[in-house]
Structure 1
Amino acid sequence: MAHGFHSAEDGPVATVTSRALALLAAFDEGHRRLTLTALAARADLPIATAHRLAAELVAWGALARTSDGDYVVGRRLWDLGLLAPLNAGLVELASPYLHDLYSATLATAHLAVRDGLEVLYLDRLRGTASVPIVSTVGSRLPLHATGVGKVLLAHAPTEVQQAVLGALTRVTPYTVTQPGTLQRQLAAVRRDDHATTVEEMSLGACSVAVPVRRDDTVVAALGVVVATPRRDRSRLVGALQVAANGIGRELSRT
């Protein structure tokens, strides 16, 4: 379970650093929440050492504590992650097209990627209409209750789809919580190349979203939030696809 960070000959400073990194490396997609005991075991550290270093990481924001005392990755690491070339490059490349999408629709526009079993919002432009918006840059929301999330879930690996289908939570009275219904919706997303939601994440807000592809691989989703998509759905899908195709062309050149 050691992660290769221990190096006693480097001296005490390097040892403290390597142990802190071992704690962070204990988290992965299959271990998103860890008790202190599990954290210490996966980092191959004594519990007392793990507790002391974890407290320092919590104070800095690299880790956070849940209401039941488990450790999770903290918001400050996400903020740093946005500076990484992959996400930073995606946000930078997509920015002009996100602005074009906003200009064409005047609706709140989102750029999002899948992060494990959630949708992670990388960028947002707030629309002019008074529609309830729960997402912010950096927020994570359920894949099954958001337009961008359904797009990403439809193109996710089978094991991710099965995990989500096995734990469908209700956010509003309109959230889809029947696995069979969601599976049919995901099939329609793959067929029609866009997704819609109707008040599934927040009452009074509907969404339309399309995939962003790098070559043939879906790497992100682009969406808008509106009061109702019924009359304008084809126009919104068209505007989204123009922007998503532009982003995809830029990504393919990098």
Structure 2
Amino acid sequence: MRSSAGQSPERSSLARADAILACFDDAHPTMSLPAIVAATGLPKTTVHRAIEKLLELGWLEQQRINGAIGHGRDRYAVGRRLFEIATLAHLRTDLREAALPYMEDLYEATHETIHLAVLDGVHVLYAEKISGHRRITDLSRVGGRMPSHCTAVGKALLAFGPPEAVDAVIAEGLDPRTRTTITSPVKLRAELEAIRLEGVAYDREECDIGMACVAAPLFGPDSTCVGAMSITGPARVLRLDRLAPAVRTAALSASRALRTRVE
């Protein structure tokens, strides 16, 4: 079993496990052994041994196709054990629980979809979601990631986060998802400055055609931005200007509740 220079076998094993788990995303909720080998670039025997251990730990689950076993026909999915562990994360026990009552208030007032997200590198990670009466995109599932530069929650997090986070997003490239996505670093920085002044961020069909969103930041005890809350719905009916005060008030209330929880 080959290990990278300077890495112990245990650390190398964890790196391989992480590489395998990173193969799964919204587009690939299940994967075959050959697909995992191709995605990781690791030897087939190494991946097979790692998968056997991950199955034993409950970090992966096996799904058999038509009862067939082996020969690349089995598919794998992220296991329930990882979900159980994730529910204990600080993100869910503090930020989520502080924000959820105010998310529910927003839902009752609007019956639109309400999101809670945090910044994860150059992406936003959705920590909670209350689905509205109207069906919208499934891209914002809990645990899912989206680019931060074209989402309202992402822009709120960038506007009130550290400057290096904005630099990292721009360095990564402002890929267009729709014709209205901001792809200019100058325009993005100007919008983030406007968000800091107004206290809310908008997504006007920048992430998904037909969808609009308004978001506001949540702050922790040390006044750092720790999350963002949003209202999302069809662009043709959502009045973002009317919803902005509501989401800003809810985010401020959640921030106060979070400070109370952790002080």
TM-score range for the pair, normalised by the shorter chain length = 0.7 to 0.9
Within 5 A, what are the aligned runs for 1:40-119? Answer: 51=47, 53-56=49-52, 61=59, 79=83, 80-119=85-124
Farther off after superposition, 181-190 or 76-85: 76-85
User: What is the distance in 2 between the residues matched to 1:248 and 1:223?
Assistant: 14
1:169 aligned counterpart, secondary structure: coil
| Structure 1 residue 169 corresponds to structure 2 residue 175 | yes
User: What is the distance in 2 between the residues matched to 1:154 and 1:75?
Assistant: 33
Letter in structure 1 aligned against 2:165:
V
**Displacement of 1:54 after TM fit?**
3.8
2:210 aligned counterpart, secondary structure: coil
Farther off after superposition, 117-126 or 158-167: 158-167
User: What is the distance in 2 between the residues matched to 1:22 and 1:61?
Assistant: 14
User: What is the distance in 2 between the residues matched to 1:117 and 1:249?
Assistant: 27
| Structure 1 residue 208 corresponds to structure 2 residue 205 | no
Look up the match of 1:246.
253
Look up the match of 1:30.
none
Farther off after superposition, 225-234 or 238-247: 225-234
Look up the match of 2:154.
149
Match of 2:187 among 168, 171, 181: 181
Q: Cα 1:57–1:90, aligned 2, differ >3 Å: closer, same or farther? A: farther
Whether the 8 Å CA contact 1:131–1:204 is kept in 2: the answer is no
Whether the 8 Å CA contact 1:171–1:202 is kept in 2: the answer is yes
Look up the match of 1:223.
230
Q: Can you list the C-alpha shifts for 1:155-198, whole angstroms capped at 9, x where unaligned?
A: 33333212211311111122111111111111111111110011
Letter in structure 2 aligned against 1:176:
I
Q: Can you list the C-alpha shifts for 1:194-244, whole angstroms capped at 9, x where unaligned?
A: 100111111110010000111311100000112238973343122112211
Q: Can you list the C-alpha shifts for 1:53-104, whole angstroms capped at 9, x where unaligned?
A: 5444666656xxxxxxxxxxx9558633342134332222221111011112
Farther off after superposition, 125-134 or 199-208: 125-134
Look up the match of 1:20.
13
User: What is the distance in 2 between the residues matched to 1:172 and 1:201?
Assistant: 6
Farther off after superposition, 145-154 or 80-89: 80-89
User: What is the distance in 1 between the residues matched to 2:86 and 2:154?
Assistant: 20
Q: Can you list the C-alpha shifts for 1:31-65, whole angstroms capped at 9, x where unaligned?
A: xxx9657xxxxxxxxx8996555444666656xxx
User: What is the distance in 1 between the residues matched to 2:236 and 2:165?
Assistant: 28
Whether the 8 Å CA contact 1:78–1:138 is kept in 2: the answer is no
Q: Cα 1:150–1:23, aligned 2, differ >3 Å: closer, same or farther? A: same
Farther off after superposition, 221-230 or 179-188: 221-230
Q: Runs of 4 or more off by more than 6 Å in structure 1?
A: none
Letter in structure 2 aligned against 1:219:
V
2:181 aligned counterpart, secondary structure: coil
| Runs of 5+ unmatched residues, structure 1 | 7-17, 28-33, 38-46, 63-73
Q: Cα 1:142–1:53, aligned 2, differ >3 Å: closer, same or farther? A: same
1:93 aligned counterpart, secondary structure: helix
The sequence identity of aligned pairs, in percent, is 34
User: What is the distance in 2 between the residues matched to 1:78 and 1:186?
Assistant: 35
User: What is the distance in 2 between the residues matched to 1:190 and 1:75?
Assistant: 38
1:171 aligned counterpart, secondary structure: coil
